[in-house]
Amino acid sequence: MAQQILGEFEELVLLMVAAMHDEAYGVSILEGLEKELKKPLNISAIHVALKRMEDKGFVKSRFGGITEDRGGRRKKFYTVTALGKRMLDGQYALRSGLYKRIPKISFS
């Protein structure tokens, strides 16, 4: 399918969602990624990626309970769908396959 494209940043967010399993929502994803990438990100970028991937069917969401420190707003948790997982598998296979073909020589 032509539109089933996973952008680079989207892939990172998707990996994070998959890794955090059921505990992934906007702020937690942001913090996880900032820690891994070691650079500040904007929350709106995360939301855009999540929204697009939800439209494409890579993730699905559910609302959690109300917590006080969110000003009465509920958390929106994301989980990876089967399609999302297949996409991640495909990306991983593609990358590791290509990686393995790198000749074992030294790079100056």
Residues that bind other proteins (CB under 8 A): 25-27, 30, 42-44, 47-48, 51, 63, 69-71, 73-76
Report the nearest approach of other proteins to the CB of residue 71 (Å).
Answer: 4
Nearer to other proteins, 71 or 103 (CB): 71
Report the nearest approach of other proteins to the CB of residue 11 (Å).
Answer: 19
Report the nearest approach of other proteins to the CB of residue 72 (Å).
Answer: 8
The residues, ordered by sequence, that sit 6+ positions from 57 with a Cβ below 8 Å of its Cβ are 81, 83, 84
- Cα-based torsion angle of the residue sequence 100, 103, 106, 108 in order, rounded to the nearest 10 degrees: -100
DSSP bridge pairs for 76? 63
